[in-house]
Structure 1
Amino acid sequence: MENLEKINQLRKIINESKKIVFFGGAGVSTESGIPDFRSANGIYSKKLNRHFSPEELISHTMYLRYPKDFYDFYKKNLIYKDAKPNFAHFYLAKLEKEGKLSAVITQNIDCLHEMAGSKNVLKVHGTIDRNICTKCGKVYNLDEFLNFCKKEEVPHCPDCGGVIKPDVTLYEEGLNMEIFSEAIRQISSADTLIIGGTSLIVYPAVSLIQYFKGKNLILINKSSTDKDYLANLVIHDKIGEVFKKL
């Protein structure tokens, strides 16, 4: 099936759907200039005389044992303050406003969906805009967090001196089960699930697909995934470009 024919089929499915849920990954944000952190180079640590992979650098172990290296990598590779929403973000916000889309579930930690106008955004891996003191529990936004980072390599709470940790899910950490459970609820009751910009390899987020019992499963990604066979419509293209054609 040619892409134009697939776009027409997608348009028809969206028009006929009553409850759409969107599940997105890094590919949604790369079109806004936020690279997939896996493409980032690791850094060399003199302490251990070795290079670290990006996955190691944002692990709970790294945060505990080598906090300076952790915060340095986090600030340089996961925070993009100047990034702006792209067409995919705005299109999804439009669908929500029209009453077609009930939730955006994202593996991304940026705030581009909210900036585009989406209201019900379930961020299964947390968010850069929420940073919590590990001692007193006070919450700081991104600007406050970055201001603390300018003063010291490892940010501390001015109220109690505790370390301020980004509210993002690091490797070796469990997901926020309240958000994950709501994502399951949304997917379970959707008639159409659109999955975009994700290679569907990051667990446990990818396990959300198994809860979909609706009519239309759409996969939109630049490359093929090992879940393509489950979908009744697969489009290999950038998610923003596909939505533009609608």
Structure 2
Amino acid sequence: MSKINQLQEIIDNSKSIVFFGGAGVSTESGIPDFRSENGIFQSLKKYGDTPENLVSHSYYLDHTEEFFQYYKENLIFKDAKPNPAHTALAELEKAGKLKAIITQNIDGLHQKVGSKNVLELHGSIHRNTCQICGKKYNLDYILESDGIPKCECGGIIKPDVVLYEEPLNNGILNFSADYISQADTLIVGGTSLVVYPAAGLINYFNGETLVLINKSKTPYDNLATLIINDAIGEIFAQIKI
């Protein structure tokens, strides 16, 4: 049996699927992984620093204008469109099989195609908050601002994105762990499972079937029921919901 047929059979026989996704889910929508070798090379060449430093809490505080320049140019892709992986997951949710999407991505593409129960571990570019008065702003306001985006009260508007050196939201982590612990099937896609604490969520899985879909190997391959080393959008394009 082919791996596509195995995946189809797993999905058909599952009643409670949870999907856990990383940057690889969005690369097929034209959003590059800023932590890739190319992303590191480009950031060093243009900004003289690594992506991890450029999107760290301390860099945001000490070099706010440069932070926003890097952020707008490298983390926001407003015209990106959902790919077959996003579409298939939304259809699985509508069919009642998929209970939650847990994502490390900040692009909002899952919601754009209709997914409802999306737990965003690293926040979203679509939510932005004044650090003084708490007023909310949309993405367009950030993009149209020159330099540092400022609120009408004078405060800096910070994206609701978890920066390096910042903790993940405990509430979202706990909800994610609960969903994973109750799933009969966990599908992990587009992540090499090396960024913690997010990668540690897989340890909460008690179900029968673990599927790993990623172009490269992961530290959890030995635990998987099915491993597919391929682009996740291309795989889900072949699945019938």
Q: TM-score range by the shorter chain?
A: over 0.9
Alignment equivalent of 1:199, drawn from 189, 192, 196 = 192
| Secondary structure, counterpart of 2:222 in structure 1 | helix
Q: Which runs of 5+ in 2 are unaligned?
A: none
**For residues 70 and 48 of structure 2, what CA distance do their matches in structure 1 show?**
13
1:98-113 → structure 2 map (5 Å cutoff): 98-113=95-110
**Aligned-pair Cα RMSD in Å:** 1.3
1:1-246 → structure 2 map (5 Å cutoff): 5-39=2-36, 40=39, 41-43=42-44, 51-147=48-144, 149=145, 152-158=146-152, 160-246=153-239
Q: Which runs of 5+ in 1 are unaligned?
A: none
Matched residues, number:
235
**For residues 13 and 43 of structure 1, what CA distance do their matches in structure 2 show?**
43
**For residues 11 and 88 of structure 2, what CA distance do their matches in structure 1 show?**
12
Counterpart of 1:195, as a letter, is V
C-alpha distance after superposition, 1:86-109 (max 9, x if no partner): 000000000000000011100000
| Secondary structure, counterpart of 1:56 in structure 2 | helix
**For residues 54 and 209 of structure 1, what CA distance do their matches in structure 2 show?**
26
Counterpart of 1:154, as a letter, is I
TM-score, structure 2 normalization: 0.95
Q: CA deviation at 1:44?
A: 6.3
Q: CA deviation at 1:144?
A: 2.1
Identity rate of aligned residues, in percent?
60
Higher mean C-alpha deviation, range 57-66 or range 221-230: 221-230
Counterpart of 1:35, as a letter, is P
Counterpart of 2:81, as a letter, is K
Question: Moved runs in structure 1, 4+ residues, more than 4 A?
Answer: none
Q: CA deviation at 1:43?
A: 4.8
C-alpha distance after superposition, 1:54-97 (max 9, x if no partner): 11000001000001111000000000001000000000000000
Q: CA deviation at 1:232?
A: 1.0
TM-score, structure 1 normalization: 0.93
| Secondary structure, counterpart of 1:42 in structure 2 | helix
For the structure 1 residues 18 and 72, does the alpha-carbon distance in structure 2 shift closer, same or farther, using more than 3 Å as the test?
same
| Secondary structure, counterpart of 1:127 in structure 2 | strand
| Secondary structure, counterpart of 2:186 in structure 1 | strand
Q: CA deviation at 1:141?
A: 1.2
**For residues 69 and 200 of structure 1, what CA distance do their matches in structure 2 show?**
30
| Secondary structure, counterpart of 1:37 in structure 2 | coil
**For residues 13 and 45 of structure 2, what CA distance do their matches in structure 1 show?**
53
Higher mean C-alpha deviation, range 191-200 or range 137-146: 137-146
Counterpart of 1:101, as a letter, is L
| Secondary structure, counterpart of 1:102 in structure 2 | strand
**For residues 153 and 124 of structure 1, what CA distance do their matches in structure 2 show?**
27
